[in-house]
Amino acid sequence: MTGRRLAGGGGPVIPNFGKPSSCLKHNGWFCTDWLHAHWGDILQPALVQHVLLTLLAVGIGFGIAFLLALLGFRFRLLNAPLGAFTDVLYMLPSIALFEILLPITGITWTTILIPLVAYTLFVLYRNTVAGLRAVPGEVLESARGMGLTRRQTFLRVELPLAVPSIMAGLRIATVSTISIATIAAFLVADGLGKPIFDALEQPDIFKTELLAGGVLVVLLALVADALLSLLQRALTPWTRVR
């Protein structure tokens, strides 16, 4: 069907020894024997790689976005250009970015991390700046009047009050990254995108593998969202009252 460029496409995914179950013979959606057989060598490693990719992308993205947000918050004039910058990055299709970077950084995780990081910037930057800006004026005034220095006001008042907005951004960025990272497998055969692409490659789409990959991605996204939600609640006890 396609001449996918990447190396390491893996061997035949449908075991061609022994007796394939009737489920596999008819390309069913949920062939448990295949799932059992290949959890260890296909699905689990892919899941682990996917988690790793996501952690790296969101971690690095958050770091960069946070620094940019500090700049955009502190120097109002910078906010519009920085916002536009992250916006443009977000508008570039992932596949195009992956391909454009390939000649420069090769078939490495760097190539796929750069676009993934770039996508997180849009949401993370925006939400962080908005969160910082949303601190009520009278809170800032009383802080100043009480004699908190600029730095103390930022660390003890503005930043904590921005956490809800920042966490909301992190949740969105994480879920999006988990989803988009599947495309990366087109270039680098890692992550949950690999079994999905493998399944799509087959002349007759391999349903069990496709479903398995898809379900794992969605489950991972839901779990990540739930964990971050718990983290948010732990960090912001004052939002829980009333």
Partner 1 sequence: MPTEAAELVFDEATKVYPGRAGAAVDRLSLAVPAGEICVLVGPSGGGKTTALKLVNRLIPLTSGDIRIDGTSILRHDLTELRRSIGYVIQQVGLFPHMTVEGNIGTVPRLLGWPKRRTRERVGELLELVGLDPEQDRRRFPAELSGGQRQRVGLARALAANPALMLMDEPFGAIDPIVRTRLQDEFLRLQQELRKTVVFVTHDVDEAIKVGDRIAILREGGRLAQYDTPQRILEQPVDDFVADFVGRDRALKALALRTLGELRLAPVGNVDGLPRLGAEASLRDALALLVAERCDVLLVVGADGEPLGVVRREDLLA
Partner 2 sequence: MIAGSLFLDAFRFIPHHASLLLHETGGTAKLAFAALGIAVALALPLGLWLGHRHRGLLLALGVSNLGRALPSIVLIGFAIALLRLTFFWECAVALVILAIPPILTNAYFAIEGVDPDAVEAARGMGLTEAQILRRVELPLGLPLILAGLRIAAVFVIATATIAGIVGGGGLGDVIANEQTYGSAGVLGASYCVAAMALLVAAALGLLQHVTYRRMAPRA
Should residue 138 be labelled a site residue for partner 1 when binding is judged by CB under 8 A?
Answer: yes
DSSP H or E run through 83: helix 76-91
Q: Does 180 bind partner 2 (CB under 8 A)?
A: yes
The answer to whether 186 and 6 have CB atoms below 8 angstroms apart is yes
* Residue 27 touching partner 1 (CB under 8 A): no
Q: What is the DSSP letter of 41?
A: I
> At closest approach, how far in Å is the CB of 145 from partner 2?
29
Partner that binds at residue 176, options partner 1, partner 2, none, CB closer than 5 to 8 Å by kind? partner 2
Binds 210, which of partner 1, partner 2, none (CB < 5 to 8 A, cut-off by type)? partner 2
Q: Which of 133, 116, 132, 121 is nearest to 83 (CA)?
A: 121
Q: How far apart (Å, rounded) are the C-alpha atoms in residues 242 and 43?
A: 44
Categorise residue 147: left if φ over 0, alpha if ψ from -120 to 50, beta otherwise: left
Query: Of the candidates 22, 93, 141, 156, which one interacts with partner 2 according to CB under 8 A?
Result: 93
For partner 1, the closer of residues 17 and 238 by Cβ is: 238
Burial 25-37 (b: 16+ CB within 10 A, else e): eeeeeebebbeee
6 touches 187 (CB < 8 A): yes
Q: Does 139 bind partner 1 (CB under 8 A)?
A: yes
Residue 136, C-beta contacts closer than 8 angstroms, at least 6 positions apart: none
Q: Which stretch binds partner 2 (CB under 8 A): 67-75, 132-140, 142-150, 172-180?
A: 172-180
Under the binding rule (CB under 8 A), the answer on residue 26 touching partner 1 is no
Residue of 65, 178, 188, 228 that binds partner 2 (CB under 8 A): 178
218 touches partner 2 by CB under 8 A: yes
Nearer to partner 2, 160 or 214 (CB): 214
Q: Which member of 31, 82, 116, 143 binds partner 1 (CB under 8 A)?
A: 143
CB 119 within 8 A of CB 180: yes
C-beta separation of 123 from 169 below 8 A: yes
Binding site for partner 2 (CB under 8 A): 1-5, 87-88, 90-97, 99-100, 102-104, 172, 175-176, 178-180, 182-183, 186, 193, 196-197, 199-200, 205, 207, 210, 213-214, 217-218, 221-222, 225
